[in-house]
Structure 1
Amino acid sequence: MAIGVRSLLNVGRLKCVNFRTFYTSSITMEKAIEKLQQNPYYEKYADRIAQLQRTSPEEFMNRVESAHRSAEADHRAKFAPSPDTRQYSSVLNPKQPLQDEMPVEDKKLDSIFKTSLIKNKATSEIQTIWEEYHKGKEVISAVIPLDVYDVIRDNMRQFPTFLFPLPRAQGYEFILSQVYGHTVHFTPLLAFQVHKENAPECLTMVHYIELTEKGIILMRGEYDKNVLNGKEAQCLANQFQIYYNNKDSVKSQLLQKFSKRPESFKHMDLIKELENISFI
């Protein structure tokens, strides 16, 4: 969902003035007058308003209510999120709803990389090969030490869903992450709110576990170039690792709040943390 860091417009109020006498007959009428007095054009039309109130209280209230409904509609239209008109790629397959009773089958390393060629190589060589293999490809990749991934994996089980802010020209867009097995699916929050579990993905990050005996996990992320560029995809991947590796107590608390104490979770805390991360 594209969510800009916006502040509501401060509606200017009139300074203290001498108001004409109004004949209020109910609390509702008093509130209506109070609303009118906040209008910057009130003083100009105060005499006409007072006359209408005296001669036709019912018509006066009808006009006030109509104006109030119109103002509310204008406000909703002004601050409603912009529709997501981006054309999502068909490369990333829609995910299925997470069901604990159903096994999740992850992609195999052999589907993209011949493990037989690296089986007898040292860990450092494998890391170099993996990095070279992805150079020039429009994907993100990483080699994660097994002990680090064990911590990340434990948090993935406990907190399978989370949010990450992504800097945009008009503010920040929140991206929803969902864990299925060893795969992390990223979806714009706005798209998820509209399409739920069938929302198109903007990034799919797979952790390949075939080389655990070498003490490493290979990660590869494919992103939708209509929605993200390489730097933005890497930003999401970096945030995911930082939040899930338990090395930052503040971020660990936010992770727990989102799942276990949502009433105390604040989106602005995520933006604050992002602005303090050195890779931005």
Structure 2
Amino acid sequence: MSLRPAFCLRNQLRSCSSLPRAQRRWARVHDIRFVATQNRIQDKYREKLEQKARDEGFQSVSQMKEAYEERIKQLRKKVSSELSKATNPQAQPQPQQQSPSLNQPPPPAPQPGQTTQTAQKTTDKSGSAAPGIKPLSAYLDLERVSSLPAKEIEYIWRLRHASNPKSLCAVIPLETYKRIYDTARTHPRFILPLPRPAAEDGSGDVAQSADGFAADAKRTASDIHFLQWSFHPPAGAPPAPGSRTANTHTSTILFTHLAAFKLHGEFAQPHTTVTHHLDLADSHGLVLLNGSVTDRKGVSAEEAKWLLLCMQKFYDYGGHGGGVGKEKRQDLLKKFSKGDSSFNLGELVDEAERIS
């Protein structure tokens, strides 16, 4: 009997046993830690789940799960959707930008001497007044006031601002305002001196203002303040079609320290803001003025009133003081607007301090 066939068969079996076994791809892999944790949670709350199932009228916990299966799916879907939105903001729908309407009127053209950026700032959604400027209706009930005589309106207007120590108010006749307005359109910028007590240090040196301008040692020094006019659409309701009205605008004056304006330019913070309202110009011939003084800007309310009176002296050079010094004040305005080197600050101070 030959042993060779048996030896060959044993070698073949040995070689077959060394071949890699085929992997079962349908086999499931479980995380032992997850299964253990899940079992612990089920064991911990098993009694409560069974009690809940009995309370709900179910015979077992599995029967209760089947009953609530659809509700659980909906809750899971809702939570998954909210979680997806929270973790992926780009997936949220963006609000659609409103395209400009074809019937929307174009923005108003800038006034002479006004940049496009300034014109856009002075027009709000209603097209009535510049942002930050309150209309007269914010202070008075125009429907009731319009039926009162001019004297009562003046009394109410002054009483309206009497409780605020930082407030400025005045009632200007329309003819006076028209003269000031005509001058302001030609000379929208100017400077005014504010007298200050000179330093008494006994040095005998020439006194200087806070803005660096030399002043006469025999009199008080002066701070120089920069004023700027701006004009906006009317603050009240538009006039009836075909009617002639003086209420064509609302004007404001900004008073700023000249030193601050030199340093910051258009971004300098004003210490006093004054607004003229023409809502009652047609019916009563009155222009109502109101203003406010900013705290901690180095100017008191009384000093702001002095600057306001000084402004009227120069801008109403034809009607103020019976025409005395009219040519001098007009000449100073022209020289400053043109940037004439012959503009003299001493002459400006003399005219500002002149009583008549």
TM-score, normalising length: structure 1? 0.61
Report the Cα distance in structure 2 between the residues aligned to 1:114 and 1:191, rounded to whole angstroms. 38
Q: Does 245-254 or 263-272 show the bigger shift?
A: 245-254
- 1:116 has 2:187 as partner: no
Question: RMSD between aligned alpha carbons?
Answer: 1.7
**Per-residue deviation at 1:261?**
5.0
**Per-residue deviation at 1:100?**
4.5
**Per-residue deviation at 1:246?**
2.6
Alignment correspondent of 1:206: 275
Alignment correspondent of 1:34: none
- 1:235 has 2:306 as partner: yes
**Per-residue deviation at 1:224?**
1.6
Could you say what secondary structure the match of 2:155 adopts?
helix
- 1:155 has 2:183 as partner: yes
Alignment correspondent of 1:99: 114
**Per-residue deviation at 1:162?**
0.1
- 1:252 has 2:330 as partner: yes
* Residues 142-167 of structure 1, C-alpha deviations (whole Å, 9 max, x = no match): 10000111111111110000000001
Unaligned runs of 5+ in 2: 1-112, 123-128, 199-220, 232-250, 319-325
Alignment correspondent of 1:222: 292
* Structure ranking higher on relative contact order (CA contacts 8 Å, 6+ apart): 1
* Residues 6-49 of structure 1, C-alpha deviations (whole Å, 9 max, x = no match): xxxxxxxxxxxxxxxxxxxxxxxxxxxxxxxxxxxxxxxxxxxx
Alignment correspondent of 2:342: 264
Q: How many equivalent residue pairs?
A: 181
- 1:177 has 2:205 as partner: no
* Residues 95-143 of structure 1, C-alpha deviations (whole Å, 9 max, x = no match): xxx7244264443111233322301111111111111111131211110
Give the aligned residue type for 2:230: Y
Report the Cα distance in structure 2 between the residues aligned to 1:151 and 1:163, rounded to whole angstroms. 19
- In our comparison, the structure showing a higher alpha carbon Rg is 2
Report the Cα distance in structure 1 between the residues aligned to 2:345 and 2:330, rounded to whole angstroms. 15
Correspondence for 1:132 among 159, 164, 169: 159
Report the Cα distance in structure 2 between the residues aligned to 1:236 and 1:195, rounded to whole angstroms. 21
Unaligned runs of 5+ in 1: 1-97
Report the Cα distance in structure 1 between the residues aligned to 2:190 and 2:279, rounded to whole angstroms. 26
* Residues 72-111 of structure 1, C-alpha deviations (whole Å, 9 max, x = no match): xxxxxxxxxxxxxxxxxxxxxxxxxx72442644431112
Alignment correspondent of 1:167: 195
Give the aligned residue type for 2:303: E
TM-score, normalising length: structure 2? 0.48
Report the Cα distance in structure 1 between the residues aligned to 2:139 and 2:153, rounded to whole angstroms. 15
Could you say what secondary structure the match of 1:128 adopts?
helix
Give the aligned residue type for 1:202: H
Could you say what secondary structure the match of 1:113 adopts?
coil
